[in-house]
């Protein structure tokens, strides 16, 4: 064998080795991309659930704020809207109803400190629940 033939054989072996390395790295990259897409899809679904939790607790906070305002301005409790808000929010305030005395500001105007306290507690519960869902169900990238 001539020196050129030996070099050509060595070059061919080297090219085959490079080709195998390239194929291996492409397979690894494809695997990583598939795993990344799966992770992103799962995290997207978890983010959607967390956003739903935030929406529900945000709606609750809004209803509780309306209750505080209605009681503060002394809204007529026989009114349909005021009654609807009070009935809807009553289960969420009941736990805190006897916590402190709500000060009466004037004849029908009441500052519902218990409802304000309930708002703070329910906001914390909503945040903790969403963080728990995210920690348990999401996947690291």
Residue 6 domain-assigned? no
Determine the structural domain holding residue 59 and report its residue range. Answer: 43-137
What is the per-residue pLDDT for 124?
A: 97
Residue 119: pLDDT over 80: yes
- List the structure tokens of 52: 């739903």
* Contact yes or no for 39/141 (Cβ under 8 A): yes
What is the per-residue pLDDT for 1?
A: 67
Residue 5 domain-assigned? no
Alpha-carbon distances of 71 from 24, 46, 76, 81, 112, rounded to whole Å: 70, 38, 9, 12, 7
Residue 66: closest CA among 119, 108, 106, 102: 119
Total domain count, the chain: 1
pLDDT tens-digit map of 29-88: 777 877 777 777 788 888 999 999 999 999 999 999 999 999 999 999 899 999 999 999
pLDDT tens-digit map of 11-23: 777 777 877 777 7
Handedness of CA 121, 124, 126, 132 (dihedral sign): negative
pLDDT tens-digit map of 94-116: 999 888 998 898 888 999 999 99
Residue 131's CB is within 10 A of a number of other CB atoms, namely 12
Residue 68 domain-assigned? yes
Residue 32 domain-assigned? no
Residue 77 domain-assigned? yes
């Amino acid at each position: 064998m001539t020196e050129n033939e030996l070099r050509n054989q060595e070059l061919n072996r080297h090219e085959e080795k490079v080709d195998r390395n390239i194929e291996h790295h492409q397979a690894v990259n494809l695997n990583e991309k598939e795993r990344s897409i799966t992770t992103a899809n799962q995290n997207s679904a978890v983010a959607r659930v967390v956003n739903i939790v935030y929406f529900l607790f945000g709606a609750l906070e809004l209803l509780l704020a309306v209750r505080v305002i209605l009681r503060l301005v002394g809204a007529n409790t026989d009114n349909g809207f005021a009654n609807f808000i009070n009935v809807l929010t009553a289960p969420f305030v009941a736990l805190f109803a006897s916590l402190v005395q709500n000060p009466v500001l004037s004849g029908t105007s009441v500052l519902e400190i218990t409802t304000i306290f309930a708002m703070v507690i329910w906001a914390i519960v909503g945040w903790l629940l969403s963080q728990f869902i995210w920690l348990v169900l999401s996947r690291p990238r």
